[in-house]
Amino acid sequence: MDWMTAIVNDLATQGYSIQHQVLPHALFTALADECQQQPLRPAKIGSGHIEMQHNTIRSDLIAWLDEQHLSTAQQQYLAYMEQLRLAINQQLYLGLFDFECHYASYPAGSFYRKHVDQFRNNNSRQISVIYYLNRDWQSAFGGQLKLYNPQDQLLAEHYPTGNSLVCFLSDQFPHEVCETSQTRMSLTGWFRRRS
Ligand code: OGA
Ligand code: MN
């Protein structure tokens, strides 16, 4: 898989990767349809005792994939992520052992302010992977992901076009989702190691 090789190389050299047209079109369509049909709940911030619901920081809605009730499309997506996990481990020795993943939908007017994905009290999240599910995204809609380097300089700006995928080292790259004027959907996940 060319895009997987590219991701592994990019992670090794620059710590992040942006890929387009990654999955078969039918799988992209199935995942996008399912996201639209999911019951979604307001996302929370933090973990454990400091978990908060705070829509001045983020205002997306999410649904974790349910391991016990995976659709065929979800199983296929997770099989790709498993291949990617093995490819990353082979080259980068991160000891990634699993992948957690949720659908996310940003209603019109929502955003996610600049943050780093790794929790302060738990370093198990190693690599963030965001797969976008929006059929015809136009830059006028906003909703772009802005990715910064550890010195807080802007590295990349990515509009959430369908079937594109962004990944980066979870502890090093601040990022934000700019306000969107249209519903903005994704599958967002993290490769984890034992903490
Ligand atoms: C997140 C996040 C970015 C995006 O869910 O932590 O930063 O582009 N998402 O959806
Ligand atoms: Mn994030």
Question: Residues lining ligand 2 (ion), CB within 5 A?
Answer: 117
Cα separation, 10 vs 16, whole angstroms: 6
Question: pTM for the whole thing?
Answer: 0.94
pLDDT, tens digit (0-9, with 9 covering 90-100), for 59-113: 889 999 999 999 999 999 999 999 999 999 999 988 999 999 999 999 999 999 9
Cα separation, 87 vs 162, whole angstroms: 24
pLDDT band at 195 (very low <50, low <70, confident <90, very high): confident
Calculate how far, in angstroms, residue 114's C-alpha sits from the geometric centre of ligand 2: 8
Q: Which ligand is nearest to the CA of 58?
A: 1
Calculate how far, in angstroms, residue 48's C-alpha sits from the geometric centre of ligand 1: 20
- Statement: residue 172 has pLDDT above 80: yes
Give the burial string for 75-113 (b: 16+ CB within 10 Å, else e): ebbbebbeebbebbbeeeebebeebebbbbbbeeebbbe
pLDDT band at 144 (very low <50, low <70, confident <90, very high): very high
Cα separation, 48 vs 153, whole angstroms: 31
| Ligand 1 within 6 A of CB of 34 | no
Substitution candidate for ligand 1 out of 177, 179, 182 with most atoms within 8 A of CB: 177
